[in-house]
Structure 1
């Protein structure tokens, strides 16, 4: 894992990293070593030094913050231990007289490009302290799908409806988590295609929203309308799902002039719901249309585990919002 500490101008980097290490050790009981440097590759070098000399760096942190430290580290590090160089490339480097990471920096850039391509040039610059590899920022998902197979085939409309509306709520929670709203909702249902002795049916329908939303209430309303239009009696349903896509950032919504926008009305309720579910556990606060029963997980649990759940979970809040 890499963290960007460039903005920590008024914070002692060493003390901050020691605090991170100790907190992980205390809470998760996982030993951690931290290397700090101008580039990702040099961070790996600093981290390697901490691991190889635990007695010297007993706090588990080492910072390459000067040209002298970087030069000393690279003259110590074998070329095969540089991040991105494997055994075959290491042997090839040794044949050319490159045994340490510092030796690589003494070679002309053209030679490095011929041996390793553009990847080698970037590595060379990283070892010099010139950043070439940026931190990977997680990109928002382009679509979110919540689909489940039921433990038992369902025939009652209300039972299937409750499952589908639950999936819609999970989709809206994920939308809020990445601060986006969707403009398109799809609902599908299907029977068990492996049961040739039963009639087969599958259907799906999509609705484009006039106003993008991530409200569980509004998405649940749309999901219910779509479900009503595709459900057919007389079938044994085995699987259903909800898919939302066509996302826009939450703060860049374009709303219709001809329809009322209820997103802002529901926003405070959604924030409270998310906060309580995060604090007390999944689905502790949910829409009234959700039963809260897990119908797609393991069919049976032992009496001992059932007793444990009863004695170690909070009373569930089941509210219906209008």
Structure 2
């Protein structure tokens, strides 16, 4: 029988901030979005204070000071590193995993029961191992389908009596029905607001109502996706583990500015920075792109300003992955699209028609990337991997950086990604060598 586990980091961003800060163990913690705008993560202590997700920080700033809430800017480098450690730890305990997002993954538990392994105890072992080795608290949901595993994870997270692990197979049919009946249909994976509105009009209000619905009738009205959800709730696995992720057909790197930008050189700096990221991603994934484009947007909410929402793109005569060519194309598109005195809020770079490098058929008369360009790019990648991101970069990426760079005034140290931010224990004492 197929058995899945869904392992999810609790309040992941906030938990990452607590790993190297024991003084924050019982203190409310929130993490803010880009440019320190809205709340995107809350510790359990912050949730108890009534702080809502996506709440603008300026509305609760005084409240956070009064309640001694620790507030952090998003430290994506730290979160990605701890996520990788968490995934590696989970993978060491099971046959294989299928990462679903930065803070959760599905794990294959099929066959373990036949070897005499208690799946619930295996769930607790994974939970304890991740907390011991990484410092991230997790919950584990175990079930014969991905949708039920996700639902069990939700139950494990919200019902303290389960102690962080919920195994669907441990429940009697009566308890399974009760577990489904205690949550609204909106808590089911893949059932969004629109689905919820239509389902409630049909009298389907709880997860149990949806599990007892006719899958074919749901398919006729809503399509195959929701029909698969119904079958999964009924115990039939329709969504397998994705052990090999499909390659992306487009890669985009963009970011909103902390302040409105009108200077062309400042925009060029941001464009160059994002182009470097696109090139690095292409080479890391072993792919090449046939098109290069840029994003150039003003703020649509400032109705008093002249607006521009530009996404110009250029096709390439041959597929590329070298950063220099991407920057050259992006710069040309910027020159064509830039309007003086416009106030820009966001810019970025994207590469399209992305294919594996080995799938490209070379033309005898077609120009290709020079060997020297490829060597330079690979050398830069290796140096940046060893000594830190953007140790080597294109000079234009430094233009106006203080103007367009994302505002992260409450950024925590890069404990695991930057040498100078390594945690220190006590003062450094000089010792005299006795020989």
Please give the range of the TM-score, normalised by the shorter of the 2 chains.
0.5 to 0.7
**Shift in CA distance, 45/7, structure 1 to aligned 2, threshold 3 Å:** closer
Deviation (angstroms), 1:169 = 1.6
Distance in 1 separating the partners of 2:138 and 2:298 = 50
Q: Which residue number corresponds to residue 262 of structure 2?
A: 153
Deviations along 1:267-313, one digit per CA (max 9) or x if unpaired, are: 565455446546655423312443273431368979xx9xxxxx947
Structure 2 residue 138 is the aligned partner of structure 1 residue 32: yes
Distance in 2 separating the partners of 1:8 and 1:104 = 29
Contact 2:272 2:327 (C-alpha < 8 Å) held by counterparts: yes
**Shift in CA distance, 117/243, structure 1 to aligned 2, threshold 3 Å:** closer
Map of 1:111-260 to 2, 5 A cutoff? 112-113=213-214, 117-118=218-219, 122=228, 125-127=231-233, 129-134=235-240, 140=248, 142=250, 144=252, 146=254, 152-154=261-263, 161-176=268-283, 179-187=286-294, 206-226=313-333, 230=336, 235-236=340-341, 238-239=343-344, 241-260=348-367
Aligned residues: 284
Structure 2 residue 403 is the aligned partner of structure 1 residue 295: yes
TM-score (norm 2): 0.46
Deviation (angstroms), 1:179 = 4.7
Deviation (angstroms), 1:12 = 6.4
**Shift in CA distance, 141/295, structure 1 to aligned 2, threshold 3 Å:** farther
1:21 alignment partner, one of 113, 127, 135: 127
Distance in 2 separating the partners of 1:104 and 1:242 = 42
**Shift in CA distance, 294/183, structure 1 to aligned 2, threshold 3 Å:** farther
Contact 2:290 2:319 (C-alpha < 8 Å) held by counterparts: yes
SS in 2 for 1:146: strand
Contact 2:268 2:397 (C-alpha < 8 Å) held by counterparts: no
Contact 1:42 1:126 (C-alpha < 8 Å) held by counterparts: yes
Deviation (angstroms), 1:142 = 3.4
Gaps of 5+ in 2: 1-103, 188-195, 414-418, 423-435
Contact 2:147 2:233 (C-alpha < 8 Å) held by counterparts: yes
Deviation (angstroms), 1:184 = 1.4
Map of 1:273-312 to 2, 5 A cutoff? 273-274=380-381, 277=384, 281-291=388-398, 293-297=401-405, 312=420
Structure 2 residue 174 is the aligned partner of structure 1 residue 75: yes
Distance in 1 separating the partners of 2:384 and 2:405 = 20
Distance in 2 separating the partners of 1:82 and 1:192 = 40
**Shift in CA distance, 93/241, structure 1 to aligned 2, threshold 3 Å:** closer
Distance in 1 separating the partners of 2:407 and 2:203 = 57
Gaps of 5+ in 1: 306-310, 315-322
Distance in 1 separating the partners of 2:407 and 2:269 = 18
Deviation (angstroms), 1:244 = 2.6
**Shift in CA distance, 138/208, structure 1 to aligned 2, threshold 3 Å:** closer
Distance in 2 separating the partners of 1:202 and 1:116 = 42
* Bigger Rg, structure 1 or 2: 1
RMSD: 5.6
Deviation (angstroms), 1:39 = 0.9
Distance in 2 separating the partners of 1:43 and 1:279 = 38
Deviations along 1:68-109, one digit per CA (max 9) or x if unpaired, are: x4xx432213141478478997x9689xxxx996x999x8xx
Distance in 2 separating the partners of 1:213 and 1:267 = 10
Contact 2:290 2:316 (C-alpha < 8 Å) held by counterparts: yes
